[in-house]
Structure 1
């Protein structure tokens, strides 16, 4: 452990930082845990959003889930997609019991444009891909160009 105290030319005492003491006692791994982002292991699913002339599509890669794990809601023109999943496993071998459990969850929100027809929103989940279809209102759909004759 480094307990050196250095005295620079100006006479002020410089003490080692708490991070250097933690690093000396426990190694760099623990020190970096306190300095780093605690959410580093938590990841949000990748999302693709695309627009066509008739609709918007939100696609989210979430493998290993079930359709029943998702909750999709629309609140004040905001699309909310969330999930919460608990996993428990227990096995007994002789006099030992092994229990493992985990919980994973995320919540994503997307502000929808006024052009979305909220009554026709649909969602599907297949092969690890959640797809939300957000159709546009009729007045918002792109219409083909029309030729106007000059009189």
Structure 2
């Protein structure tokens, strides 16, 4: 479950969502829209609006550092609407509250993944033994092919 804190946020007040030790998102940046869930469920599913659509403005959010924003944009791909808003839909539970929590948890997972910078690649060289094994395999393969080039039968 995600931690929602009440108190002074980066915007001067209100509630915010803590995403790791350094990143927090003001809850007033996140919009929720409730709709009827699809799929089986009998009469209950036809009467209640338990599905949740979470909308988070990735492009205009003042809470996101630029590096996190860039990594998040690469990560989310097709979930981004034309106006730069991330849309997450949750409808696996019968309860609106649990679907809302599930959507927030998915947002936090995405933000945590984007908040960790990628490890820099270190260039390595093949070992001497691996070079020798490769060349030995090439010699054996070449010998096999040379033996197949026999003359006319």
TM-score, normalization by structure 2? 0.24
- In terms of fraction of residues, the more helix-rich structure is 2
The two structures have a TM-score, normalised by structure 1, of 0.24
